[in-house]
Amino acid sequence: MRTDAASGVRCEPEHGCITCGDEAVPLRVLRVDAERELALCANADGEHTTVEIALVAPLVPGDGVLVHAGTAIAPLPPEAVA
């Protein structure tokens, strides 16, 4: 943990993002809506969520992505998503 002396703001990266508390998670792309830049994705437990893909497009079903706060921030190899 680090504390900025001037502002008193604390950074605790071991607990997730300092801004939103979220952690990046690996997901597998199930379906892509390229026009709206959205993808339906699933985690390793099969739970589905819709994520924004503008930063990593183009994607196809089966691709892996690292998702933070509802936005795909990096492509992942398919084997990286269980």
Calculate the average pLDDT of the chain. 83
* Structural domain boundaries enclosing 73: 22-80
Q: What is the pLDDT of residue 26?
A: 93
Give a yes or no: residue 12 inside a domain.
no
Give a yes or no: residue 3 inside a domain.
no
Residue that is written with structure tokens 């892509």 in the block? 32
How far apart CA 63 and CA 71 sit, in angstroms, is 15
Could you tell me the pTM of the whole model? 0.74
Q: Name the percent of the chain lying above pLDDT 70.
A: 72
Q: What is the CATH number of the domain that holds 49?
A: 2.30.30.140
What residues contact residue 79 under an 8 Å CB cut-off, 6+ apart? 64
Stretch 1-27: mean pLDDT: 60
Stretch 50-63: mean pLDDT: 96
Q: What is the pLDDT of residues 36-56, one digit of tens each?
A: 999 999 999 999 999 999 999
Number of domains in the chain: 1
Give a yes or no: residue 6 inside a domain.
no
Stretch 5-17: mean pLDDT: 54
Preceding peptide of 58 cis, ω within 30°: yes
Tokens representing 69 are 């706060």
How far apart CA 49 and CA 10 sit, in angstroms, is 30
